[in-house]
Chain A
């Protein structure tokens, strides 16, 4: 069989390989599924923002009731992280790769997207962990100070509460370190291999362009 016959065999498959499906029914299905999918994405964003708002509102309420400056800080920092997440998503959504681009452009954009994710996770300490941890740490430090000055170490209840607060602070620090290392592991194990894979595919597509240029 030569290539022309192979091409004929290839083009003949259309008749048998695809079956008649109701176009209207399929259109309805796809439309419905896409709406469902968009709904899932929108719900995920709403839940994230709503959680941040609720946490901030609760902390703000306590800050007003108790007049604790440290609680104002604790309420403000989640807002910073929430704002950062929303702003980043809005900015990046304009740069997301679109499958209707040429294969080469799509690959380049996909690599750009992975690069951005790598950058975010490598700097997770500054925009996520620290802003979220600093509020509670300031608050717990304040509680510790109040316990030390108002209740005193000599009181059995005071000492117990201080040890409890110190335990919570240590637990928070351990959690922050854990979150940081989980993110760095994701960069190493998932994102960098994905980037290399994309670069390899792109290299295949651009190899001839480079050869041409030489």
Chain B
């Protein structure tokens, strides 16, 4: 694959999945600096994976697999530290929407709770919140759709306990 085509695909992915990368990074790392580290590693692995990507594979599944695998490995300190790039991918600015204050608080608490869940629950929840189908989640994780349903319902129960006061019914 020539460099130009590779850059083109990466630019498309960056445009489409920047939010996804930022969310996964925030769900697995506490501080902004760490989140940028995770995001950077995900982008590097996405770039490296492009030659192996086949068009018949589902793009979202591919990007999610890489993002989750990298983020979980990063948590275990499996990736060597690289030079930090000035990514500025994640901006701690306020949300512009009308319900921003309430939403921002809810989302902040949600991230804190997700970080405390174990890897299997947090990954299922992340993808479910992002609107992925059970089939897509199963394909990312390598299990059956049935299992995704059971795991999601258990993860929601654990989340509800953690978010007591914020979430009425999950």
Q: Write out the residue numbers on chain B whose beta carbons fall within 8 Å of the beta carbon of A93.
A: none
**Given A37-B82, A201-B72, A21 and B142 contact (CB-CB distance below 8 Å):** no
- Asked if B143 CB lies within 8 Å of chain A CBs, one says yes
Judge whether A209 and B143 touch: CB under 8 Å.
Answer: yes
- Asked if B150 CB lies within 8 Å of chain A CBs, one says yes
Q: Tell me the residues in window 99-114 of chain A with beta carbons closer than 8 Å to chain B beta carbons.
A: 99-106, 110
| Bound-state Cα–Cα, A3 to B94, Å | 22
Chain B contact residue count (CB 8 A cutoff): 75
* The one of B22, B44, B76, B91 that contacts A197, using a Cβ cutoff of 8 Å: B76
Judge whether B143 and A2 touch: CB under 8 Å.
Answer: no
* The one of B18, B45, B169 that contacts A18, using a Cβ cutoff of 8 Å: B18
A29's closest neighbor in chain B, by CB?
B85
Q: Tell me the residues in window 56-71 of chain B with beta carbons closer than 8 Å to chain A beta carbons.
A: 62, 65-66, 68-70
- Asked if A10 CB lies within 8 Å of chain B CBs, one says yes
The interface size bin for chain A is: 35 or more
- Asked if B33 CB lies within 8 Å of chain A CBs, one says no
Judge whether B47 and A30 touch: CB under 8 Å.
Answer: yes
Judge whether A30 and B169 touch: CB under 8 Å.
Answer: no
Q: Write out the residue numbers on chain B whose beta carbons fall within 8 Å of the beta carbon of A115.
A: none
**Given A33-B44, A100-B65, A101-B69, A10 and B110 contact (CB-CB distance below 8 Å):** yes
- Asked if A98 CB lies within 8 Å of chain B CBs, one says yes
CB distance from A173 to the nearest CB of B (A): 34
- Asked if A150 CB lies within 8 Å of chain B CBs, one says no
Q: Tell me the residues in window 7-27 of chain A with beta carbons closer than 8 Å to chain B beta carbons.
A: 7-19, 21, 23-24, 26-27
Q: Write out the residue numbers on chain A whose beta carbons fall within 8 Å of the beta carbon of B166.
A: 1
**Given A100-B49, A103-B65, A197-B76, A26 and B14 contact (CB-CB distance below 8 Å):** yes
| Bound-state Cα–Cα, A92 to B59, Å | 28
Q: Which B residues are closer than 8 A to A by beta carbons?
A: 3, 7, 10-11, 14-15, 18-19, 22-23, 26, 43-45, 47-49, 52-53, 62, 65-66, 68-70, 72-73, 76, 78, 82-83, 85-91, 93-97, 99-100, 102-104, 106-107, 110, 118-121, 123, 129-131, 139-144, 146-147, 150-151, 156, 166-170
Instruction: List 14 contacting pairs A-B, 8 Å CB cutoff, sorted by A.
Output: A2-B168, A5-B106, A7-B129, A12-B103, A13-B19, A13-B103, A17-B91, A27-B11, A30-B10, A34-B44, A99-B73, A106-B69, A201-B118, A204-B118
